[in-house]
Protein backbone atom coordinates (compact mmCIF):
# COMPACT_ATOMS: atom_id res chain seq x y z
CA UNK A 1 0.00 0.00 0.00
CA UNK A 2 1.27 3.45 -0.80
CA UNK A 3 0.89 6.65 1.19
CA UNK A 4 -1.55 9.35 0.11
CA UNK A 5 -0.36 12.93 -0.32
CA UNK A 6 -2.63 15.44 1.44
CA UNK A 7 -1.57 19.08 1.79
CA UNK A 8 2.08 18.31 0.95
CA UNK A 9 2.47 15.52 3.49
CA UNK A 10 2.29 11.76 3.24
CA UNK A 11 -0.52 10.03 5.10
CA UNK A 12 -0.33 6.28 5.85
CA UNK A 13 -3.00 4.27 4.00
CA UNK A 14 -4.89 3.50 7.23
CA UNK A 15 -5.25 7.21 8.09
CA UNK A 16 -5.81 8.64 4.61
CA UNK A 17 -9.62 8.39 4.43
CA UNK A 18 -10.09 9.87 7.92
CA UNK A 19 -7.48 12.60 7.49
CA UNK A 20 -8.95 13.52 4.13
CA UNK A 21 -12.50 13.70 5.52
CA UNK A 22 -11.49 15.64 8.63
CA UNK A 23 -9.49 18.26 6.73
CA UNK A 24 -11.09 18.50 3.29
CA UNK A 25 -14.63 17.27 3.63
CA UNK A 26 -15.27 18.67 7.09
CA UNK A 27 -17.26 15.50 7.77
CA UNK A 28 -18.89 16.91 10.92
CA UNK A 29 -20.23 20.39 11.64
CA UNK A 30 -18.10 22.57 13.89
CA UNK A 31 -19.51 24.27 16.95
CA UNK A 32 -18.05 27.40 18.52
CA UNK A 33 -17.32 26.91 22.20
CA UNK A 34 -15.02 28.17 24.95
CA UNK A 35 -13.91 25.03 26.80
CA UNK A 36 -11.02 25.28 29.28
CA UNK A 37 -8.81 22.26 28.66
CA UNK A 38 -5.35 20.78 29.04
CA UNK A 39 -3.23 19.68 26.10
CA UNK A 40 -0.09 17.59 25.97
CA UNK A 41 2.19 16.79 23.06
CA UNK A 42 3.95 13.44 22.91
CA UNK A 43 6.96 13.55 25.25
CA UNK A 44 6.11 16.87 26.94
CA UNK A 45 4.20 18.29 29.90
CA UNK A 46 0.59 19.41 29.69
CA UNK A 47 -0.41 23.05 29.41
CA UNK A 48 -3.64 25.04 29.66
CA UNK A 49 -5.53 25.85 26.49
CA UNK A 50 -9.02 26.80 25.37
CA UNK A 51 -10.95 24.86 22.75
CA UNK A 52 -12.54 27.41 20.41
CA UNK A 53 -14.49 24.99 18.21
CA UNK A 54 -15.27 21.31 18.36
CA UNK A 55 -16.91 18.64 16.22
CA UNK A 56 -17.35 14.90 16.36
CA UNK A 57 -14.06 14.55 14.44
CA UNK A 58 -11.78 17.25 15.84
CA UNK A 59 -11.20 20.61 17.47
CA UNK A 60 -9.36 23.91 17.23
CA UNK A 61 -7.60 25.42 20.23
CA UNK A 62 -5.56 28.47 21.10
CA UNK A 63 -2.22 26.67 21.62
CA UNK A 64 0.52 28.89 20.25
CA UNK A 65 3.33 26.37 20.68
CA UNK A 66 5.21 25.13 17.65
CA UNK A 67 3.59 21.85 16.67
CA UNK A 68 3.93 20.52 13.16
CA UNK A 69 1.19 18.68 11.29
CA UNK A 70 1.34 15.03 12.21
CA UNK A 71 2.33 15.68 15.85
CA UNK A 72 0.48 13.42 18.26
CA UNK A 73 -1.27 15.14 21.18
CA UNK A 74 -3.76 14.51 23.95
CA UNK A 75 -6.60 16.86 24.87
CA UNK A 76 -8.18 16.65 28.32
CA UNK A 77 -11.64 18.20 28.48
CA UNK A 78 -13.38 18.72 31.85
CA UNK A 79 -14.77 15.39 33.06
CA UNK A 80 -13.16 13.22 30.35
CA UNK A 81 -10.05 11.10 30.10
CA UNK A 82 -7.43 12.45 27.65
CA UNK A 83 -8.45 12.22 23.98
CA UNK A 84 -5.73 11.28 21.49
CA UNK A 85 -5.49 13.54 18.45
CA UNK A 86 -3.17 14.60 15.65
CA UNK A 87 -2.25 18.13 14.67
CA UNK A 88 -3.64 18.75 11.17
CA UNK A 89 -2.78 22.43 10.75
CA UNK A 90 -1.37 25.36 12.69
CA UNK A 91 -1.64 29.11 12.35
CA UNK A 92 -0.79 32.20 14.34
CA UNK A 93 -4.04 31.77 16.30
CA UNK A 94 -3.76 28.10 17.22
CA UNK A 95 -3.98 24.49 16.18
CA UNK A 96 -6.52 22.37 14.35
CA UNK A 97 -6.51 18.71 15.38
CA UNK A 98 -8.25 15.53 14.27
CA UNK A 99 -9.37 13.18 17.02
CA UNK A 100 -8.17 9.60 16.73
CA UNK A 101 -11.65 8.36 17.74
CA UNK A 102 -14.74 10.41 17.08
CA UNK A 103 -16.64 11.85 20.03
CA UNK A 104 -19.92 10.36 21.10
CA UNK A 105 -22.70 12.73 19.92
CA UNK A 106 -24.16 12.94 23.45
CA UNK A 107 -20.77 14.00 24.84
CA UNK A 108 -20.42 16.62 22.09
CA UNK A 109 -23.92 17.98 22.86
CA UNK A 110 -23.03 18.29 26.56
CA UNK A 111 -19.94 20.40 25.81
CA UNK A 112 -21.78 22.59 23.28
CA UNK A 113 -24.54 23.38 25.79
CA UNK A 114 -22.22 23.76 28.81
CA UNK A 115 -19.48 25.93 27.23
CA UNK A 116 -20.92 28.59 24.89
CA UNK A 117 -18.48 30.74 22.91
CA UNK A 118 -17.20 33.86 24.67
CA UNK A 119 -19.16 36.23 22.41
CA UNK A 120 -22.38 34.57 23.61
CA UNK A 121 -21.52 34.71 27.34
CA UNK A 122 -23.29 37.61 29.02
CA UNK A 123 -21.55 39.56 31.76
CA 37 to CA 32: how far, in whole Å?
15
Q: What is the pLDDT of residues 61-99, one digit of tens each?
A: 998 777 889 999 999 999 999 999 999 998 888 899 999
Q: What is the pLDDT of residues 32-50, one digit of tens each?
A: 999 999 999 988 899 999 9
Q: Look at residues 113, 112, 102, 90 and name the one whose alpha carbon lies nearest to residue 27.
A: 102
What's the confidence (pLDDT) of residue 25? Answer: 47
The DSSP call for residue 22 is I
CA 44 to CA 54: how far, in whole Å?
23
What's the confidence (pLDDT) of residue 55? Answer: 96
Is the pTM for the entire model greater than 0.85? no
Using 50, 70 and 90 to split pLDDT, how confident is the model at 6? very low
> What does the longest C-alpha to C-alpha distance in the chain come to?
55
- End-to-end Cα spacing for the chain: 55
- 29-120 homologous superfamily: predicted glycosyltransferase like domains (2.40.10.220)
Cα separations in angstroms, 62 against 18, 21, 22, 50 = 23, 23, 19, 6
Amino acid sequence: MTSTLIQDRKIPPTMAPYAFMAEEDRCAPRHKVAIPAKMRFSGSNSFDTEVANISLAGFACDALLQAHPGTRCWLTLPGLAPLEAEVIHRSNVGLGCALRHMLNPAVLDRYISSYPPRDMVRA
